[in-house]
């Protein structure tokens, strides 16, 4: 049986191997993705983001339990744009999730040094999990800044987690976090200042343009399993609103455009570089650019023209 078919049939080991390929050898995964793609795109992808240590993994773990109890098939992806390899914290997460047995599939994705690698690997990892049958995928991102915003672009619903006393998070808000949040969670609300943080957040959110979906600000104590059902309810409400939104199909097309553009860029680079190497002038062009005899843009233009 092909690997794609095995995944569609629910073979965990095939899924695990395909995820490794997607992460480390993208081209080798092309055929698998082609095979499973018609069976993807359903369910809900929930992004969970926020500054280090705010309790994202704890929340994801509890949300996974909550959705399992509601009969959903749950998959978890922990994406780390800041790390070239899977860090200790994520491994810790994996151990924690093992308590849930084989019901929840958990996987960490790291950037492995590829520039933009995660932007390509994340949607494919989501597709593999959906093909495997998962209909609720929780996507945790660690780190802050543009890469995090990019990864959250693949989520249907984005949860921004903060802790009492916004402090450092104001920095993150500047990076566009406020705009991407569909649900805000003030976690560790057992700590002082939670009410004030919730008020501040609501104020910031009301300063923005009026939207059909007004992002709720919810209190939680993930570690104590408090406030989790309300967050799950908000996710399902947001999903309903999203699906009834007339712009939904336009958003799907936008997402498709992003995927096709990425694949196209990849294929073009591949073809032009292969051609130049075959003709034997690749190293020459690189040397010319390194020695400032040629600028990168003109180098690319010349290589491209040659490959036409």
Residues ≥6 apart with Cβ < 8 Å to 195: none
Q: Determine the residue with CB nearest Mg ion.
A: 57
Nearer to ligand GTP, 222 or 303 (CB): 222
Cα angle vertex 92, ends 87, 94, to 5°?
100
Nearer to ligand GTP, 33 or 142 (CB): 142
Minimum Å gap between C-beta 51 and ligand GTP is 7
Tokens found for residue 8? 């569609």
DSSP 162-176: E-SS-TTHHHHIIII
Residues ≥6 apart with Cβ < 8 Å to 156: 44, 45, 46, 238, 239, 242
Nearer to ligand GTP, 38 or 88 (CB): 88
List strand residue ranges (DSSP E) for 81-193, in order.
105-110, 136-141, 157-162, 183-186
Q: Is 66 in the site for Mg ion (CB under 5 A)?
A: no
Nearer to Mg ion, 18 or 104 (CB): 104
CB 75 within 8 A of CB 129: yes
> Which of 49, 57, 189, 276 is close enough to bind Mg ion by CB under 5 A?
57
Minimum Å gap between C-beta 81 and ligand GTP is 12
Minimum Å gap between C-beta 141 and ligand GTP is 9
Nearer to ligand GTP, 3 or 48 (CB): 48
Minimum Å gap between C-beta 56 and ligand GTP is 3
Q: Which does 58 bind (CB under 5 to 8 A by kind): ligand GTP, Mg ion, none?
A: ligand GTP
Q: Which does 239 bind (CB under 5 to 8 A by kind): Mg ion, ligand GTP, none?
A: none
Instruction: Report which of 58, 54, 126, 113 is spatially closest to residue 83, judged by C-alpha positions.
Output: 113
Instruction: Report which of 84, 54, 235 is spatially closest to residue 147, judged by C-alpha positions.
Output: 84
DSSP 195-207: HHHHHHHHHHHHH
Minimum Å gap between C-beta 78 and ligand GTP is 8
Q: Cα-flanking dihedrals φ and ψ of residue 32, to 5°?
A: -65, -45
Give the residues lining the site for ligand GTP (CB under 6 A). 52-58, 89, 142, 187-188, 190, 221-223
Tokens found for residue 172? 């993150």
Nearer to Mg ion, 6 or 57 (CB): 57
Instruction: Give burial (CB, 10 Å; 0-12/13-18/19+) of 256.
Output: exposed
Q: Which does 52 bind (CB under 5 to 8 A by kind): ligand GTP, Mg ion, none?
A: ligand GTP
Q: Which does 122 bind (CB under 5 to 8 A by kind): ligand GTP, Mg ion, none?
A: none
Minimum Å gap between C-beta 90 and Mg ion is 7
Nearer to ligand GTP, 18 or 228 (CB): 228
Minimum Å gap between C-beta 305 and Mg ion is 47
**Residues contributing to the site for Mg ion (CB under 5 A):** 56-57
């Amino acid at each position: 049986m092909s690997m794609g078919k095995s995944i569609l049939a629910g073979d965990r080991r095939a899924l695990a191997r395909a995820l490794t390929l997607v992460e480390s050898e993208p081209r080798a995964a092309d055929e698998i993705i082609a095979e499973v793609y018609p069976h993807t795109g359903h369910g809900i992808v929930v992004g969970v983001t926020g500054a280090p240590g705010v309790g994202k993994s704890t929340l994801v773990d509890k949300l996974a339990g909550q959705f399992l109890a509601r009969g959903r098939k749950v998959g978890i992806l922990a994406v780390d744009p800041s790390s070239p390899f899977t860090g200790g914290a994520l491994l810790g997460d994996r151990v924690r999730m093992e308590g849930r047995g084989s019901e929840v599939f958990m996987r960490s994705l790291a950037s492995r040094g590829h520039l933009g690698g995660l932007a390509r690997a994340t949607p494919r990892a989501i597709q593999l999990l959906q093909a495997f049958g998962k209909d609720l995928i929780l996507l945790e991102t660690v780190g802050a800044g543009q890469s995090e915003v990019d990864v959250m672009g693949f989520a249907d619903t984005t949860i921004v987690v903060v802790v009492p006393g916004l402090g450092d998070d104001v920095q993150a808000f500047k990076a566009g976090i406020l705009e991407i949040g569909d649900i805000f969670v003030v976690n560790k609300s057992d700590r002082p200042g939670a009410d004030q943080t919730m008020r501040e957040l609501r104020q910031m959110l009301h300063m923005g343009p009026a939207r059909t979906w007004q992002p709720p600000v919810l209190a939680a104590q993930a570690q104590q399993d408090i406030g989790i059902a309300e967050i799950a309810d908000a996710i399902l409400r947001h999903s309903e609103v999203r699906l009834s939104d007339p712009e939904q199909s336009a958003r799907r097309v936008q997402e498709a455009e992003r995927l096709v553009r990425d694949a196209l860029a990849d294929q073009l680079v591949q073809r032009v570089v292969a051609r130049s190497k075959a003709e034997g002038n690749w190293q020459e062009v690189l040397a010319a650019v390194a020695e400032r005899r040629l600028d990168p843009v003109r180098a690319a233009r010349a290589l491209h023209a040659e490959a036409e």
